[in-house]
A and B are shown apart, each in its own frame.
Chain A
Amino acid sequence: MKFRIYRYHPESGERPHMQDVGLDIDPAGKMLLDALLAIKAEDETLSLRRSCREGVCGSDAVNVNGKNRLACITPLTELKEPIEVRPLPGLPVIRDLIVDMEPFYKQYRSIKPWLINDEPEPEVERLQSPEDRARLDGAYECILCACCTTACPSYWWNPDTFVGPAGLLQAYRFIADSRDEATAARLDNLEDPYRLYRCRGIMSCVDACPKGLNPTEAIGRIKSLLVKRRV
């Protein structure tokens, strides 16, 4: 199979470039990560992050043929050759397929991603009805891979000020949680022309999410909560 892989090595003094790589691999049942690791076995200078190899740790997000995906759950048979593999767009490249995720994490931290409830803790669990719990489905499963946020043009232009789809989905996860008491403060934190409203609803994030989540919908719900609050 034919691959074109983005290569950048800061110590070499060379500019980033695309490298053509041929690999003898039977694509049946194999994932893109299998191919990248086979390429690395031949040429150990290729660097990428990986861990769980089953789509739950969120380490190996890359841009494949123009789309952000997790390499470990992208079947080779789905991909057109030459398979072009680049680092995630919109974040500084450290080396090869590895980007600096800190700007992404910083936006995640900015929404205070933890449950806030200052009531005295009961001796047992806080009760939550299955219906209330179901509101977290589609939000808590985020793996922080950054596929969505780095597919968002609004994030590319405003990485310092726009929270981005992943962070906003997590903000919604806590707003939607019947156990969380800080909804008003969370909405205040987002009521800002940049932090929330840079989202133009183009749904690139939905298309990119490898877990099938829908950040645009969550953002819509935050927006309607803000509208309701005003009237």
Chain B
Amino acid sequence: MNARRFDALIIGGGGAGLRAALQLARSDYKVAVVSKVFPTRSHTVSAQGGITAALGNVDDDRWEWHMYDTVKGGDWLGDQDAIEFMCREAASAVYELEHMGLPFSRLDNGKIYQRPFGGQSKNFGGAQATRTCAAADRTGHALLHTLYQQNIACRTQFFDEYFALDVLRDAEGYCLGVTAMSIETGEPLLIEARATLLATGGAGRVFGNSSNAMINTGDGLGMVLRAGLPLQDMEFWQFHPTGIAGVGCLITEGVRGEGGCLLNKHGERFMERYAPHAKDLAGRDVVARAIALEIAEGRGCGPRGDYVDLKLDHLGEKRIAEKLPGIRDLSIRFAGVDPVEKPIPVAPTAHYMMGGIPTNLHGQVVAPARFGPEEPVPGLYAVGECACVSVHGANRLGGNSLLDLIVFGRAAGGHMLEYLRDNPYPRPLPEHAAEASQARLARWDRPGSERAAAITDDLRRMMQTHAGVFRTDAVLREGLDKLTQLDDRLAHAGLQDTSRVFNTARIEALELENLIGVARATLVSAIHRTESRGAHTREDFPARDDEHWLRHTLYSREGDQMDAKPVRLKPLTVESIRPKERVY
């Protein structure tokens, strides 16, 4: 196998990977970024509404209020040290993006434009705050392109259209790099690095109806599971309230932030019943459950009653054209509706994975070890949606994901620099380090009776039915049985096309292996957590149970083992925000 060697290696060319790469590229170390798509095609590009930071450009604001909202939004499952760090660093991280050239929308006084988003408050739960910094409704696009441009300026080395296969570790647990494959030639490649960062994004494509790009297949999570490391809080998946009905494409929360509202078939603004105070701008889990209930109880719109209306025509054409041009475009194309005239048909769509690879606030991957519940895995980092640091807890607030990428991307890049200084020499690669990856590749050269694509379809349908907005033990267990059958079918699957050059069927088969790992982690963790918290709603356990479940879950592949670790309720410098009932 061909081999390359770098000081630092980043897997994933989205916002988190590129922000970390920039931190490293500005040093003298050799850095490479491996991405399975050209970086600006990463899913960060789809983020619409904005990035949250208490700049106070429109209204009074403080990072402490942002921190409170994030803790409450996450239903107290988030680690308060990491949340404090993120909210405190937010303003400087956003100013830094502006200095890099991000084309933020502007206020009349020339400052960065901010809009209200769900779950934002002033004074620790008081009136609505206005905290989300936006570049129209294309903030992710603007952010990703800006970071990519900065990386070109710094001459970061890119391996575009390379698919990462496995993390390599030695007997002492040090991460030594990864195996990958050139999608264009089909050639495997071993990339050695003293420090490796996983920034592989989410896995929303494990669900049938998802807002996510087709590339979001949890590749980093699969790599970590195969390396024998755990995943944290995998039962927590955010269903975004407003996906275009039947399609799944996202309609940003910014629509409601700008004044749009949700209506049922009677034209009733039903969120007033579910969240009398925050109404349409309650937490996403709250709004998604409300929509699902309206539909289930026969108050949905349309001939099949399977969606609700998102009304924004009262904002006027000028405001829509100025602040929500992308939304108007998406709505016309995918719903056949011009929102200037008519409401957009919307329903909840799988959107974001709160769980992921457990890390500390330097981005170091942590795992239970001899000396305690968590110790860093030397040389291995994770940032962004694939990681669980955990700032989003049981439910992420809108605008906090782009912030997570930037703040922890920067922090991880910085920590990797320190790690490289402290560990100046590459460690020897075990002799058969690449064998497992080679076996995985060879496995897809053998013919099989089953089509991988058919298994992927069935997997996504199963997860949609068995791990959706509302869950029960019976429904989840039935899903797990079906998953075991899918796993059996996977063993008999093969490719019709075993060619080398740009064989996307082979990539999809390798992605399926990762998705199956994500699905199993999700189902087992969801069965395990017998309470309702944030986005995890158990109909058979409808209440939050702090006594037993104010803790993180850890899933390991070996024997589907479940473990727990405490939630960090102690912030870095401020007072702890004690758990209380979460109402909007």
Determine the chain B residues whose CB is within 8 A of the CB of A101 once the complex forms: 38
A80 contacts the other chain (Cβ, under 8 Å)?
A: no
Considering the complex, which residues of chain B in the window 84-122 have a beta carbon less than 8 Å from any beta carbon of chain A? 94-95, 98-101, 103-112
Q: Which of A52, A94, A143 contacts B43 (CB 8 A)?
A: A52
Q: Which residue of A lies closest to B161 (CB)?
A: A49
B278 contacts the other chain (Cβ, under 8 Å)?
A: no
Q: Which residue of A lies closest to B48 (CB)?
A: A56
A126 to B38, CA, bound (A): 30
Determine the chain B residues whose CB is within 8 A of the CB of A96 once the complex forms: 502
Q: Which of B106, B214, B333, B451 contacts A130 (CB 8 A)?
A: B106
A143 to B246, CA, bound (A): 25
Report whether A53 and B214 are in contact in the complex, using a CB–CB cutoff of 8 Å. yes
B226 contacts the other chain (Cβ, under 8 Å)?
A: no
Determine the chain A residues whose CB is within 8 A of the CB of B215 once the complex forms: 51
Nearest-neighbour CB distance to chain A for B207, whole angstroms, equals 14
Q: Beyond A113-B149, A114-B153, is A54–B46 a contact (Cβ under 8 Å)?
A: yes
Report whether B184 and A94 are in contact in the complex, using a CB–CB cutoff of 8 Å. yes
- Digitize B146-163: 1 where CB-to-A-CB distance is under 8 Å, 0 elsewhere: 100110110000000000
Determine the chain B residues whose CB is within 8 A of the CB of A132 once the complex forms: 106
Q: Which of B257-265, B420-428, B492-500 contacts A (4 or more CB under 8 A)?
A: B492-500
Q: Which of B43, B55, B110, B505 contacts A127 (CB 8 A)?
A: B110
A11 to B453, CA, bound (A): 23
A128 contacts the other chain (Cβ, under 8 Å)?
A: yes
A4 contacts the other chain (Cβ, under 8 Å)?
A: no
Determine the chain B residues whose CB is within 8 A of the CB of A75 once the complex forms: 333
Q: Which residue of B lies closest to A139 (CB)?
A: B103
A73 contacts the other chain (Cβ, under 8 Å)?
A: yes
A129 to B138, CA, bound (A): 19
Report whether B334 and A54 are in contact in the complex, using a CB–CB cutoff of 8 Å. yes
Report whether A29 and B336 are in contact in the complex, using a CB–CB cutoff of 8 Å. yes
Nearest-neighbour CB distance to chain B for A107, whole angstroms, equals 13
Q: Which residue of B lies closest to A101 (CB)?
A: B38
B279 contacts the other chain (Cβ, under 8 Å)?
A: no
Report whether B104 and A11 are in contact in the complex, using a CB–CB cutoff of 8 Å. no
Report whether A94 and B138 are in contact in the complex, using a CB–CB cutoff of 8 Å. no
A100 to B309, CA, bound (A): 43
Considering the complex, which residues of chain B in the window 160-204 have a beta carbon less than 8 Å from any beta carbon of chain A? 184
A43 to B246, CA, bound (A): 26
Report whether A114 and B330 are in contact in the complex, using a CB–CB cutoff of 8 Å. no
Determine the chain B residues whose CB is within 8 A of the CB of A141 once the complex forms: 138, 141
A52 to B141, CA, bound (A): 12
Report whether A114 and B99 are in contact in the complex, using a CB–CB cutoff of 8 Å. no
A115 to B329, CA, bound (A): 28
A51 to B149, CA, bound (A): 21
Instruction: Tell me the count of chain A residues lying within 8 A, CB to CB, of chain B.
Output: 56
Report whether B110 and A50 are in contact in the complex, using a CB–CB cutoff of 8 Å. no
A188 contacts the other chain (Cβ, under 8 Å)?
A: no
Report whether B499 and A11 are in contact in the complex, using a CB–CB cutoff of 8 Å. yes
Determine the chain A residues whose CB is within 8 A of the CB of B567 once the complex forms: none
Q: Which of B40, B43, B103 contacts A177 (CB 8 A)?
A: B103
Report whether A140 and B142 are in contact in the complex, using a CB–CB cutoff of 8 Å. yes
Report whether B112 and A125 are in contact in the complex, using a CB–CB cutoff of 8 Å. yes
Report whether A44 and B43 are in contact in the complex, using a CB–CB cutoff of 8 Å. no
Report whether A50 and B46 are in contact in the complex, using a CB–CB cutoff of 8 Å. no
A124 contacts the other chain (Cβ, under 8 Å)?
A: yes
Determine the chain A residues whose CB is within 8 A of the CB of B104 once the complex forms: 125, 133
- Digitize B191-230: 1 where CB-to-A-CB distance is under 8 Å, 0 elsewhere: 0000000000000000000000111000000000000000
B293 contacts the other chain (Cβ, under 8 Å)?
A: no
- Digitize B491-533: 1 where CB-to-A-CB distance is under 8 Å, 0 elsewhere: 0000111011111110000000000000000000000000000
Report whether B150 and A51 are in contact in the complex, using a CB–CB cutoff of 8 Å. no
B562 contacts the other chain (Cβ, under 8 Å)?
A: no
Nearest-neighbour CB distance to chain A for B513, whole angstroms, equals 16
B41 contacts the other chain (Cβ, under 8 Å)?
A: yes
Report whether A57 and B105 are in contact in the complex, using a CB–CB cutoff of 8 Å. no
Report whether B502 and A115 are in contact in the complex, using a CB–CB cutoff of 8 Å. no
Nearest-neighbour CB distance to chain B for A76, whole angstroms, equals 13
Q: Which residue of B lies closest to A109 (CB)?
A: B152
A53 to B502, CA, bound (A): 19
Q: Which of B41, B146, B499, B505 contacts A57 (CB 8 A)?
A: B41
Determine the chain A residues whose CB is within 8 A of the CB of B94 once the complex forms: 125
Nearest-neighbour CB distance to chain A for B454, whole angstroms, equals 8
A55 to B46, CA, bound (A): 9
Determine the chain A residues whose CB is within 8 A of the CB of B501 once the complex forms: 9-11, 94-95
Interface centre among A10, A44, A59, A113 (most CB of B within 10 A): A44
Report whether A136 and B141 are in contact in the complex, using a CB–CB cutoff of 8 Å. no
Nearest-neighbour CB distance to chain B for A73, whole angstroms, equals 5
Nearest-neighbour CB distance to chain A for B149, whole angstroms, equals 4
Determine the chain A residues whose CB is within 8 A of the CB of B111 once the complex forms: 124-125, 127
Nearest-neighbour CB distance to chain B for A78, whole angstroms, equals 11
Report whether A94 and B502 are in contact in the complex, using a CB–CB cutoff of 8 Å. yes
Report whether A11 and B500 are in contact in the complex, using a CB–CB cutoff of 8 Å. yes
Determine the chain B residues whose CB is within 8 A of the CB of A40 once the complex forms: 453, 504-505
A123 contacts the other chain (Cβ, under 8 Å)?
A: yes
Report whether B101 and A114 are in contact in the complex, using a CB–CB cutoff of 8 Å. yes
A143 to B330, CA, bound (A): 15
Considering the complex, which residues of chain A in the window 5-29 have a beta carbon less than 8 Å from any beta carbon of chain B? 9-12, 29
Report whether A129 and B110 are in contact in the complex, using a CB–CB cutoff of 8 Å. yes
Interface centre among A40, A101, A115, A123 (most CB of B within 10 A): A115
Determine the chain B residues whose CB is within 8 A of the CB of A65 once the complex forms: none
A41 to B504, CA, bound (A): 12
Nearest-neighbour CB distance to chain B for A128, whole angstroms, equals 5
B429 contacts the other chain (Cβ, under 8 Å)?
A: no
Nearest-neighbour CB distance to chain B for A195, whole angstroms, equals 18
Nearest-neighbour CB distance to chain B for A32, whole angstroms, equals 12
A144 to B145, CA, bound (A): 10
A49 to B484, CA, bound (A): 31
Report whether A44 and B496 are in contact in the complex, using a CB–CB cutoff of 8 Å. yes
Report whether B41 and A58 are in contact in the complex, using a CB–CB cutoff of 8 Å. yes
Nearest-neighbour CB distance to chain B for A28, whole angstroms, equals 10
A174 to B152, CA, bound (A): 15
What would 9 A/B residue contacts be, using CB atoms closer than 8 Å?
A44-B495, A44-B497, A52-B213, A113-B152, A123-B95, A127-B111, A129-B106, A140-B103, A177-B103
- A-B contacts besides A11-B500, A52-B41, A144-B40, 19 pairs, CB < 8 Å: A44-B453, A49-B504, A55-B329, A56-B326, A58-B41, A59-B37, A73-B333, A114-B149, A114-B153, A115-B100, A117-B99, A123-B95, A127-B109, A128-B106, A129-B106, A129-B110, A132-B106, A133-B105, A180-B101
**B interface residues (Cβ-Cβ under 8 A, vs A):** 37-38, 40-43, 45-46, 55, 94-95, 98-101, 103-112, 135, 138, 141-142, 145-146, 149-150, 152-153, 184, 213-215, 246, 249, 326, 329-330, 333-334, 336, 451, 453, 495-497, 499-505
